[in-house]
Amino acid sequence: MNKMDRVLKHISLGLGAAAGLFLLFSAYVFARLMPKMTALDPISAAEENMFLWVGGGLLVYLAFSSVSVLRAANYIRHTEDVPLLAAGQIITGVLAFLFVFSDLALLNDIGKQYRHGLAQPEWMILITIMLFQMIALGAFIYLHLFGFKAVGLSEPAARDSNIFLIVQYVGALCGLLGLALSSMGFFFPRAWTLEAHTTFTVIVMMIPYALAAGYWLMTKLREQPRQFFDEKQKLDTGRAALVTVGAGSAFMLALFIANYRELSGVVSVLWLPLYLFAALLVFSSANIYFALKVK
């Protein structure tokens, strides 16, 4: 265990303990307030302020999932191949990271609907997501305590390809989720807005990919001599780019034809995120396929 790994372990466990307490507090708040709010009964100002603590706890959870993913990425740098357990933690961590923004958005929607005397179906979605976050928290803490064994570890390879592959996994996940969320605009066109939905979705869904790519860039800048891609990666990314251009063009043509009579409708605020996330999904998936094809 190197110095950075020890620091990340202690930070992760500290944040995990705090996040766990906040999640338990959130469960108490939901159990107390959900029956009142769904029945449209009045709640006190003190009870309403409890949601501020829930939001603060979610930010702690956000920090915990980020540090957990960073530790898993640091561990992968010292392995020959990408361990399935560490890769699974990164994928789960990215999901937990993104779900924090979903929690905040759902809490905001629940508050607005309660104030206007409307039903709040988002409660079940919120509880399901936070149940997943509790399970993920327990799995992360277990891994921080008993996982990431030093057996078989070595110094990072001179031309590390593990982090590059992890970036593609994160990109494929963000592309898939972003594409799914953006497509919801076709089902709820009247409720879809440019600022609150399109812009928010693009920014939030690109954050994990930007962080992963930034970590990869940082590791490359520290390499001596510096070389961003080896020969195989250059070939793989070139082929992936070619596939992406073809698939992206076909996708946009299909989108144009399918909405030919309504190009000024909801598709006018969806075409960019749909294209960005589709391109990210295809490019990252193609890179994963070409990278693993020889193995």
The amino acid occupying position 37 is M
Please check the confidence at residue 42 and state whether its pLDDT lies above 80: yes
Identify the weakest region by mean pLDDT among 18-27, 255-264, 268-277.
255-264
pLDDT of residue 41: 87
Which of 141, 156, 171 represents a domain boundary (last residue)? 156
Which of 130, 156, 182 represents a domain boundary (last residue)? 156
Please check the confidence at residue 245 and state whether its pLDDT lies above 50: yes
Quick one: pLDDT band at residue 18, thresholds 50, 70, 90?
A: very high
To the nearest whole percent, how much of the chain has pLDDT over 70?
89
Quick one: pLDDT band at residue 81, thresholds 50, 70, 90?
A: low
- Cβ 178 vs Cβ 280: under 8 Å: yes
Are both 145 and 168 inside the same structural domain?
Answer: no
Burial of 15 (0-12, 13-18, 19+ CB in 10 A): buried
- Cβ 91 vs Cβ 171: under 8 Å: no
Are both 118 and 206 inside the same structural domain?
Answer: no
User: Which residues have a Cβ under 8 Å from the Cβ of 228 and sit 6 or more positions away?
Assistant: 220
Q: What is the mean pLDDT of the chain?
A: 83
Q: What domain range includes position 62?
A: 1-156
- Cβ 89 vs Cβ 72: under 8 Å: yes
Are both 76 and 145 inside the same structural domain?
Answer: yes
- How many domains in the chain? 2
Query: Helices in the chain by DSSP H: which ranges?
Result: 3-38, 45-76, 84-115, 122-146, 162-187, 200-221, 231-258, 271-293
CA 66 to CA 259: how far, in whole Å? 39
For residue range 115-167, list pLDDT tens digits in order: 888 888 888 888 998 899 999 899 889 888 887 766 455 555 444 577 888 88
Which of 138, 156, 174 represents a domain boundary (last residue)? 156
The predicted model scores a pTM of 0.77
Are both 148 and 168 inside the same structural domain?
Answer: no
Are both 110 and 195 inside the same structural domain?
Answer: no
pLDDT of residue 2: 66
